[in-house]
Chains A and B, each alone.
Chain A
Amino acid sequence: MAVAPQTTVAPQPISDAIIRVRDITVEFGTTRVLDGLNLDVKRGEILGFVGPSGAGKSVLTRTIIGLVPKVAGHIEVFGVDLDKADTRQRRAVERRWGILFQQGALFSSLTVRQNIQFPVREYLNVSQRLLDEIMVAKLVMVGLKPEVADRFPSELSGGMIKRVALARALALDPELVFLDEPTSGLDPIGAGDFDELVRTLQRTLGLTVFMVTHDLDSLYTACDRIAVLGNGKIIAAGSIADMKASQHPWLRQYFNGKRARAVVS
């Protein structure tokens, strides 16, 4: 479905980078994981973030959202410098992003319904009726039936956990979502559906998506732009065609290897 660019009402005011990462250095003990890394994420795009296992993809995500302390550098999200922001500004930023953790991180003692409603209930003063309706709307959006609402996370399959976690990440209609390996552990069909879902949501809600992934299919079908992490830096960023044209050894192996050819053909 094509979206007409800039009709009478724009979904988002178009501006440049929604996340601006400058010279980020992160160390664990004496090992330097990120070394003066720079990265921009543009508004409205789906950025795929790849790199070898253990290169620090999740570390960068966690540094941006403030779970891992950094040694140097600064991070701006929505134009707010997170180091200089006071608690209220930080809250305001946190309200505008949603995060899908690798394992879902659903609250195990709450039902699906309560998990999705939790952020809404905390931040917005709305009736139980609207809470329930929004919860069902989110479940429908992520492709689940409303019947799962009263199940506990331990009663869900892996794919359902990811979907519920995505529904929770989207509960407050954020402008930016972080997805940490959203398709890992899903079967290829489920993973394909998930990519399609992310794409659809990005179109309907005008989301910006920061997606850490290992999944070549996701990179091909869902991502607008790809950034590659290596040696603590971004070694390449651009479209899939740029990646395939790159001469970097790891990139050549990754995008022109046996599995990549299988995906393309």
Chain B
Amino acid sequence: MNGDPTLERIAQGNGLALCAAGPWTAPFASLLEAIVSDAEKLAGSRPNIFIDVSQISRLDTFGAWLIERLRRSLTQGAAEAKIAGLSPNYATLVDEVRRVKTAPPDERPAVTITGMLAQVGRSVVNVSETFIGLIDMLGAVLAAAGRVFLRPRDFRLTSTVHHLEQVCWRAVPIIVLITFLIGCIISQQGIFHFRRFGADIFVVDMLGVLVLREIGVLLVAIMVAGRSGSAYTAELGSMKMREEIDALRTMGFDPIEVLILPRLLALVIAMPILAFLGAMAALYGGGLVAWLYGGVDPEAFLLRLRDAISIDHFIVGIIKAPVMAAVIGIVACVEGLAVQGSAESLGAHTTASVVKGIFFVIVMDGVFAIFFAAIGI
């Protein structure tokens, strides 16, 4: 008996004996499967077939099942294939696999054109559900805020401060660095192109208006959506997965009040601060490049900046910040609470949180632009 399992065919009168030998175990599964599939073709060739398993050195579930499968395929009509030479050690195992009845059900539904169309339809319907979900959450948050306003003792100051540290204080270095670099790049590009018209100094106008009105707050919002929105979704999502949110609810706490309100409030406070710091860093970076690269000295830069921009530009920018923060926060919380039981679902909702957050931030920015244009600022 060498290392590999075998299945020998021995003719006996009008019958056939299939002698299995060697280790019929999992490590040899692919070989065993080939042997058995081959032997299954013998079905019906002889009136009397039996499987002799007395020479098997080791047997496990794989081997036992393949022998059982062979027995079933060889059994045709009245001619029942039998298993002979089964040692009592293995009898229980073979009995066990004999209980495997039906062929297992199909794994996945087939991909059809109707199925794909149905998927598209479902996605479109889900868009409206997204909006309803957001409005739902907005309402719930406002209601919770109202309750907390009437009973200030329920306000979770510690939690709010904790989240403020996470989303504001710890975000400062990266936000300042990135906006500083963007300021540098805008200034450098502006000078490079304006120089051809001898209009170097107008780079200050462009930088001031762009940074204070649009880029500053938009960039910060996108950073916050990626940094804090995703964190909110992941936190709430894993709490949902571990039934922590259900636990809170059963203890008589409102998860919106305990978990979501402090997070949203922290974000709404953090965003204007970050947007302001970001705008200053961008202006500083732009000024630095204008000085070193464009030869606009700081005094001229500041004088020009004072002429070019008014407080309106700054207000237009900063007023958008808390609104965008609220949008990012609400999207993140809705997605967090929508997480189902699996790790995959957590990943999908965190992605959706960031993607939708950034999308809505840009949409809001457009809406604000139209609004400010209409009122003439």
The answer to whether A153 touches B99, judged by C-beta atoms less than 8 angstroms apart, is no
Specify which chain B residues have a CB less than 8 angstroms from the CB of A153 in the assembled complex: 341-342
Specify which of B25, B30, B100 is in contact with A136 (CB 8 Å cutoff). Answer: B100
Check: A262 CB closer than 8 A to any chain B CB: no
A124-B26, A172-B26, A173-B62 are contacts. A10–B89 as well, Cβ < 8 Å? yes
The answer to whether B105 touches A141, judged by C-beta atoms less than 8 angstroms apart, is no
Give the size category of B's interface with A.
35 or more
The answer to whether A141 touches B96, judged by C-beta atoms less than 8 angstroms apart, is yes
Specify which of B61, B87, B92, B105 is in contact with A149 (CB 8 Å cutoff). Answer: B105
The answer to whether B100 touches A140, judged by C-beta atoms less than 8 angstroms apart, is yes
> CB-nearest residue of chain A relative to B27?
A124
> CB-nearest residue of chain A relative to B104?
A132
Check: A265 CB closer than 8 A to any chain B CB: no
> B103-119: contact bitstring with A at CB < 8 Å (1 yes, 0 no)?
11101000000000000
Specify which chain A residues have a CB less than 8 angstroms from the CB of B107 in the assembled complex: 113, 132, 150
Check: B145 CB closer than 8 A to any chain A CB: no
The answer to whether A173 touches B25, judged by C-beta atoms less than 8 angstroms apart, is yes
The answer to whether B92 touches A137, judged by C-beta atoms less than 8 angstroms apart, is no
Give the size category of A's interface with B.
35 or more
> A199-218: contact bitstring with B at CB < 8 Å (1 yes, 0 no)?
01001111000000000000
Least Cβ–Cβ distance between A195 and chain B, in angstroms: 17
Question: For chain B residues 253-303, which have a beta carbon within 8 Å of chain A?
Answer: none
> A129-152: contact bitstring with B at CB < 8 Å (1 yes, 0 no)?
010111111101100001101101
Alpha-carbon gap, A180 to B88, bound state (A): 31
Question: For chain A residues 8-37, which have a beta carbon within 8 Å of chain B?
Answer: 8-11
The answer to whether A205 touches B341, judged by C-beta atoms less than 8 angstroms apart, is no
Which of B57, B60, B103: most chain A CB closer than 10 A? Answer: B60
Specify which of A8, A125, A133 is in contact with B104 (CB 8 Å cutoff). Answer: A133
Alpha-carbon gap, A134 to B36, bound state (A): 15
The answer to whether A9 touches B89, judged by C-beta atoms less than 8 angstroms apart, is yes
The answer to whether A8 touches B87, judged by C-beta atoms less than 8 angstroms apart, is yes
The answer to whether B104 touches A108, judged by C-beta atoms less than 8 angstroms apart, is no
Least Cβ–Cβ distance between A130 and chain B, in angstroms: 5
- Listed by A's residue number, 30 A-B pairs whose Cβ atoms lie within 8 Å are A1-B92, A4-B88, A4-B89, A7-B88, A8-B87, A9-B59, A107-B343, A108-B344, A109-B342, A113-B107, A124-B26, A125-B29, A125-B30, A126-B33, A132-B104, A136-B100, A136-B102, A137-B61, A137-B97, A140-B97, A140-B100, A150-B107, A152-B342, A154-B342, A170-B61, A172-B26, A173-B26, A173-B62, A203-B92, A204-B96
Binding site for B on A (CB under 8 A): 1, 3-4, 7-11, 95, 107-109, 113, 120, 123-127, 130, 132-138, 140-141, 146-147, 149-150, 152-155, 170, 172-173, 200, 203-206
